[in-house]
């Protein structure tokens, strides 16, 4: 729905406690220092809802001599402003930024990415829609009696009852439109809510006048029905847009709220994450996430760095190892020294990458919003022209006002507003029945435009679960011994080994796990070790793992080799068939992975994918997608890890399995629940049908305006007829969208859909 609800009452209530402008000192301290005498401040502006808001705010801020650049993110309702520390030799007062935002008609406060605030706007819209729907239903029942020929006294009574129902309904349910229209007019702007507020207000006022003068016609049903249909479109659009913010909030939760700081006198002190500065010595216990970018001072452990690199196996860390924020400490305690503040650490960098990508998507959506800047004044000019023409030409100003109201009602963009969101909701339900969840409605439109599909490796093309592949090559006794040791470890390879064997957890009395090395235990036969080759064979150089052959773990007895267990990550079901199908349909395919070169190359050869990149950081993946986009490609990114989140956000459209990390699922536009990758092609098929239906809905909405607007201008449509026509056009649009669930368009379920299983030819 192209609209600018620049602050509903619900949103204002949620921010009432933050009405005062942030103090100058607070703004300065909360800003981030950049190079070249610049600083960056992030402010939350909850009243931002559409492209007109973005244009207004960015224009107001860029007009300030102190501001170098400003960018508004629609998804997070965040204003990022880069400003100069000094202007003409004087220190900048950052409060001018907040004052400029206030002067433009918006409230602001310091942005907190981890704040879990209830979506008051969404809840307010749902309540308003429910009240309007209930009121419209009851007023229509009363209107039926009037239309059936009720006498004067009964007709007046029903009109007064309708007025009593409609008045409070318009005041309560119409608040989003009234407040937005008032805010726009107060600051000399125009938006889509101005003609809407004018139409329902004039319609009610004229109906009340008719009722007071015992008139035969009143249009209370038209006013409330119009409001109800408008709120449906507004609510659907808000829900779809609001979901995009969940990824960034979820990612911020990965960074701990605080950390244990070792003080110079040897004590320990827990500090908020924002209070940690470079040089602080921190204690990171097993099971905790690394709070900021740091270097290990003492201790040894293994860390899950999937957020950083996508590496499928834990990585050993010892003195001197550099760690990035967000990594999960698995086994041993570490003493580390902070190398960067939280706002400059790795998690903050990923958040920044995601916000930059989401900002691009917001610009993609501005086209419809910008159309509102033309549509709103055009509607007013049309209604005013009709009023003046019929008033002067016919001499009946009451009749002229009726025609003007009918024009305002009939031109309300209900059908246009529902054309996109209703198809998105129906298509989302269609995909959900096939095990695919849609987070962002506009993603279906973008999915129809792709020509390139890029996959992450671990957890996407593979299941992220190691599997023992040489079970038949080792003796049953060695497997049983290794499985008994593996039961005492949470390492992924140990879990796979324990699953493959039939070990006895009570076989060994005392089992020790050495972080970054492996497990050891002693029995009557001697000292058993299970782990890295160098550790198990008690040698500093015992040979390296063969990347292409996959990871391995070694079992030894008193330093002598007993068995080598090799593993591979299980390929996701139908991965090879999907690649073959996509290639046959003309899509380019590629792998972008943070895993090792040999492992990625082997998988690419097995699946028939000709282009791949390994050992990529999250930024590296974003850069690769940016390069593809710069060459004109529309990319679908399929990934699952935390490290994939920026790439998922940066791609033209994105998809993740349900087994993905929370952040990966939130950053993706689609999430598929089945293990099979056939969901990728299924989503493409349904999205293409949805795209065709959206175009059909636009055509229907345009045809409606072409037919009925002239009728209203000529005086052949009363406000009631106009409301019925407007409602009918909305119903037709909804009915057309429902075709997505019927007949020939039905797509086979993911688990039943057949795909060719022949290897694809590498392109």
Query: Which residues are catalytically annotated?
Result: 456
User: Distance between CA 389 and CA 711 in Å, rounded?
Assistant: 15
DSSP, res 340: S
Please spell the DSSP secondary structure of 623-691, one letter per residue: HHHHHHHHTTPPEEEE--SGGGHHHHHHSSEEEEETTS-HHHHHH-SEEE-SSSTHHHHHHHHHHHHHH
Cα–Cα distance between 350 and 641 in angstroms, integer?
Answer: 12
Q: How far is CA 755 from CA 225, 573, 604, 676, 758, in A?
A: 48, 11, 19, 11, 9
Give burial (CB, 10 Å; 0-12/13-18/19+) of 246: middle
| Alpha helices, H only, 273-420 | 346-364, 366-394, 397-410, 414-419
Bridge partners (DSSP) listed for residue 69: 82
Q: How many other β-carbons are positioned within 10 Å of the β-carbon of residue 511?
A: 18
Going from the C-alpha of 673 to that of each of 247, 425, 433, 647, 656, the distances in angstroms are 18, 18, 10, 21, 9
- Whole-number Cα distances in Å, 116 to 125, 349, 615: 19, 21, 34
- Specify the long-range contacts of residues 474-477, CB closer than 8 Å, at least 24 apart: 474/563, 474/564, 474/565, 475/563
Q: Is 31 helix (H, G, I), strand (E, B) or coil?
A: coil
Angle at 119 between CA 115 and CA 124, to 5 degrees: 155
Q: Tokens 């940690």 label which residue? A: 276
Residue 209 CA to its chain's centroid (Å):
48
């Amino acid at each position: 729905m192209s609209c600018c609800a620049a602050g509903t009452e619900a949103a204002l209530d949620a921010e009432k406690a933050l009405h005062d402008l942030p103090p100058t000192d607070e703004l300065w301290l909360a800003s981030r220092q950049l190079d070249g005498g610049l600083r960056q401040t992030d402010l939350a502006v909850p009243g931002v809802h559409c492209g007109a808001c973005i244009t207004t705010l960015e224009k107001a801020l860029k007009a300030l001599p102190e501001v170098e650049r400003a960018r508004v993110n629609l998804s997070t309702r965040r204003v990022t402003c880069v400003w100069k520390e000094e202007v003409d030799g004087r220190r900048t007062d950052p409060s001018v930024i907040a004052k400029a935002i206030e002067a433009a008609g918006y409230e602001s406060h310091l942005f907190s990415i981890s704040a879990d605030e209830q979506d008051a706007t969404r809840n307010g819209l749902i309540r308003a829609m429910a009240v309007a729907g209930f009121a419209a239903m009851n007023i229509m029942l009363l209107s039926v009696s009037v239309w059936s020929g009720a006498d004067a006294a009964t007709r007046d009574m029903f009109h007064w009852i309708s007025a009593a129902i409609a008045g409070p309904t318009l005041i309560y349910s119409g608040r989003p439109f009234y407040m937005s229209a008032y805010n726009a007019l107060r600051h000399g702007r125009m938006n889509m809510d101005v003609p809407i507020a004018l139409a329902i207000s004039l319609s009610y006022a004229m109906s009340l006048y008719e009722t007071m003068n015992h008139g035969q016609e009143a249009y209370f049903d038209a006013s409330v029905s119009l409001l109800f249909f408008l709120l449906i479109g507004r609510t659907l659009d808000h829900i779809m847009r609001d979901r995009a913010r969940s990824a960034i909030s979820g990612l911020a939760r990965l960074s701990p709220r605080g950390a244990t700081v070792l003080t110079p006198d040897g004590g320990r002190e827990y500090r908020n994450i924002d209070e940690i500065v470079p040089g602080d010595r921190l204690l990171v216990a097993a099971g905790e996430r690394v709070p900021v970018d740091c270097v290990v001072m003492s201790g040894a452990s293994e860390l899950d760095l999937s957020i950083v690199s996508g590496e499928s196996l834990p990585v050993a860390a010892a003195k001197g190892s550099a760690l990035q924020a967000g990594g999960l400490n698995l086994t041993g305690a570490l003493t580390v020294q902070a190398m960067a503040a939280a706002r400059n650490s790795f998690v903050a960098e990923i958040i920044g990458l995601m916000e930059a990508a989401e900002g691009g998507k917001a610009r993609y959506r501005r086209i419809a919003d910008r159309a509102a800047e033309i549509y709103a004044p055009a509607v007013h000019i049309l209604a005013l022209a009709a009023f003046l023409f019929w008033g002067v030409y016919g001499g009946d100003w009451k009749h002229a006002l009726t025609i003007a109201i009918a024009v305002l009602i009939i031109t309300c963009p209900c059908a246009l507003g529902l054309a996109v969101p209703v198809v998105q909701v129906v298509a989302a339900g269609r995909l959900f029945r096939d095990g695919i969840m849609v987070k962002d409605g506009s993603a279906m439109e973008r999915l129809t435009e792709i020509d390139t599909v890029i996959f992450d490796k671990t957890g996407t093309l593979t299941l992220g679960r190691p599997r023992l592949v040489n079970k038949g090559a080792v003796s049953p006794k060695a497997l049983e011994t290794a499985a008994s040791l593996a039961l005492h470890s949470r390492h992924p390879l140990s879990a796979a080994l324990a699953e493959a064997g039939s070990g006895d957890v009570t076989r060994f009395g005392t089992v020790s796990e050495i972080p970054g090395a492996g497990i050891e235990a002693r029995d009557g036969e001697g000292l058993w070790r299970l782990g890295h080759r160098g550790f198990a064979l008690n040698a500093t150089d015992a040979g390296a793992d063969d990347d292409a052959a996959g990871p391995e773990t070694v079992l030894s007895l008193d330093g002598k080799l007993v068995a080598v267990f090799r593993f591979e990550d299980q390929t996701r079901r139908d991965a090879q068939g999907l690649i073959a199908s996509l290639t046959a349909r003309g899509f380019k395919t590629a792998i972008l992975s943070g895993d090792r070169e040999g492992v990625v190359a082997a998988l690419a050869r097995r699946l028939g994918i000709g282009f791949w990149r390994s050992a990529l950081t999250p930024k590296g993946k974003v850069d690769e997608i940016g390069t593809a986009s710069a060459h004109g490609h529309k990319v679908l990114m399929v990934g699952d890890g935390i490290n994939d989140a920026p790439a998922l956000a940066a791609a033209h459209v994105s998809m993740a399995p349900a087994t993905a990390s929370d952040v990966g699922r939130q950053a993706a536009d689609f999430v598929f629940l089945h293990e099979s990758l056939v969901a990728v092609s299924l989503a493409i098929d349904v999205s293409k049908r949805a795209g065709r239906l959206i175009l059909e809905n636009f055509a229907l909405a345009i045809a409606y305006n072409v037919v009925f607007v002239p009728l209203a201008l000529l005086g052949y449509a009363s406000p009631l007829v106009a409301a019925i026509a407007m409602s009918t056009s909305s119903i037709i649009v909804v009915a057309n969208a429902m075709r997505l669930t019927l007949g020939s368009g039905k797509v086979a379920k993911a688990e039943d859909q057949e795909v060719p299983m022949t290897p694809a030819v590498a392109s």
